[in-house]
Amino acid sequence: MNPTPPSPTPVRRRAVRGLAVTGTGALLVVAAALPASAHVHAVPDATAAGGYSVVTVRVPNETDTASTVRLVLTLPQDTPLTSVSLRPVPGWTAQVTEDPLPEPVTSAGATVTRAPHTVTWTAAAGAGIAPGQFQEFALDVGPLPAAGTRVLLPTVQTYSDGEVVSWTQPQAPGAPEPEHPAPAFTTTAAVADDDAPAPATTAAAAPAATPAASGGDSSDGLARGLGAAGLVLGVVALALALRGRARRP
């Protein structure tokens, strides 16, 4: 007859219950993060005002039955990016469309009345973003607007079955993320020109050269003195040797 196993102690029951709650919480956190990770994102490699940035737009496929075959990204018009160039994507064609601005703006000291407005990527047959895959589309844009500007890049994603998903909803600061947030990033303070000289560093380095040169001269003089002394001793030793030989019968 098998003995009846002991019932869990209160401490063991609390530990098991704690693990179960922790595991459930972790699953909820992961589940909550999954939809956000599938959004269309804009990842800039630089955000300094007045500079240029390579912005990578990451586009996942969120359906199991169709491929993404078209992408239309809208560039800001109130703070226009007057320079836009694209990195080629194999199997896709890209086109930048320029339009008149609603109102003239000043950019880099010049009045601008037209600027790039949309970028359209279209996949060739069989080159779309398949289910379970993602693709990255890179733009080199600039000059970036003033620090603290929220640069919105609304993007419309079209699938091979005709479904259209508009990633165009702006997110207010501190507000919950909308269902289809627009890709965006915020500019930061301008940075100093890397090519500008650094007077403090140059001035500090100059005096340091004097002791080094002085030390080198003294060492060189000491070496020459020792060499001369050695030469004199050698001559004296040779003279003594010759004198000794001359005294022998």
Measure the CA–CA gap between 240 and 246, rounded to whole angstroms. 10
Q: Which residues pair with 150 in a beta bridge?
A: 186
H helix and E strand count, the chain: 3, 11
Q: Which residue has the higher pLDDT, 127 or 228?
A: 127
Measure the CA–CA gap between 199 and 72, rounded to whole angstroms. 48
134 domain residue, yes or no = yes
Classify strands 184-186 and 68-74 as parallel, antiparallel or unpaired.
unpaired
Q: Is the backbone peptide bond immediately before 143 cis, with ω within 30 degrees of 0?
A: yes
Q: Is the pLDDT of residue 235 over 90?
A: no
Averaged over 178-185, what is the pLDDT? 96
- What's the domain count of the chain? 1
pLDDT for the residue 244: 55
Identify the weakest region by mean pLDDT among 28-42, 79-93, 113-127: 28-42
124 domain residue, yes or no = yes
Q: How confident is the model at residue 57 (pLDDT cuts 50, 70, 90)?
A: very high
179 domain residue, yes or no = yes
Q: What is the CATH number of the domain that holds 156?
A: 2.60.40.2230
Q: Is there a contact between 141 and 134 (Cβ–Cβ < 8 Å)?
A: no
pTM of this structure? 0.64
162 Cβ contact list (under 8 Å, min separation 6): none
Q: How confident is the model at residue 110 (pLDDT cuts 50, 70, 90)?
A: confident
Count CB-CB contacts under 10 A for residue 83.
14
Measure the CA–CA gap between 141 and 74, rounded to whole angstroms. 13
Q: What single letter denotes the amino acid at residue 55?
A: V
Measure the CA–CA gap between 41 and 180, rounded to whole angstroms. 11
Count of all residues that appear for the chain in the document: 249
108 domain residue, yes or no = yes
131 domain residue, yes or no = yes
232 domain residue, yes or no = no
Q: How confident is the model at residue 233 (pLDDT cuts 50, 70, 90)?
A: low
58 domain residue, yes or no = yes
pLDDT for the residue 248: 52
215 domain residue, yes or no = no
Full domain range(s) for residue 115: 40-186
